């Protein structure tokens, strides 16, 4: 699967850093390195630690959804996470990587093992 290109008939945003490809959840890596660094967005719903995080999560999900909706997205698998979800990079037709866009605009932060982003501060 590493380095594989994935084709989806249906691609939707689950939250700010997860997409669903034909029923399979996939975690955005954001051009990171498997088990070293990636991207993180606020948790949605009951997984959020505060109301601010819930609101930020909805903004992140909406932004990801707007980026992928109606476009031919290139999906490149880089590995599998602990929940058996493919770790992927998503590329817009112009070649920009979506995780990097999310980092740049502030709807995502860098993820590293052992570090938890506090979205409530």
Sheet containing strand 24-28, strands side by side = 5-6, 74-80, 86-91, 24-28, 18-21, 11-15
In a domain, 121, yes or no: no
Q: Where do we find the tokens 């992927």?
A: 88
Task: Give residue 15's pLDDT.
Answer: 96
Radius of gyration for the chain, computed over Cα atoms and rounded to the nearest angstrom: 13
43-71 mean pLDDT:
95
Task: Give residue 1's pLDDT.
Answer: 55
**Domain range holding 35?**
5-111
CATH of the domain at 98: 2.40.50.90
Is residue 24 predicted with pLDDT exceeding 70?
Answer: yes
CB atoms under 10 Å from CB of 29, counted, come to: 25
Least confident among 55-59, 69-73, 113-117: 113-117
* Domains contained in the chain, number: 1
Note the pTM of the prediction, 2 decimals: 0.92
In a domain, 118, yes or no: no
Is residue 7 predicted with pLDDT exceeding 90?
Answer: no
Q: In angstroms, what CA-CA distances link 110 with 5, 16, 44, 91?
A: 24, 13, 18, 18
């Amino acid at each position: 699967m590493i380095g594989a290109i994935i084709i989806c008939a249906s691609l939707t945003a689950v939250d700010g850093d997860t997409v669903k490809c034909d029923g399979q959840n996939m975690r955005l890596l954001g051009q990171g390195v498997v088990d070293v660094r990636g991207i993180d967005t606020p948790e949605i719903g009951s997984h959020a630690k505060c109301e601010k995080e819930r609101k930020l999560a909805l903004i992140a999900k909406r932004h990801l959804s707007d980026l992928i909706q109606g476009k031919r997205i290139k999906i490149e698998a880089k590995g599998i996470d602990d929940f058996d979800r493919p770790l992927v990079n998503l590329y817009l037709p112009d070649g920009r990587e979506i995780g990097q866009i999310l980092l740049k605009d502030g709807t995502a932060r860098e993820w590293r093992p052992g570090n938890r982003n506090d979205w409530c501060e």
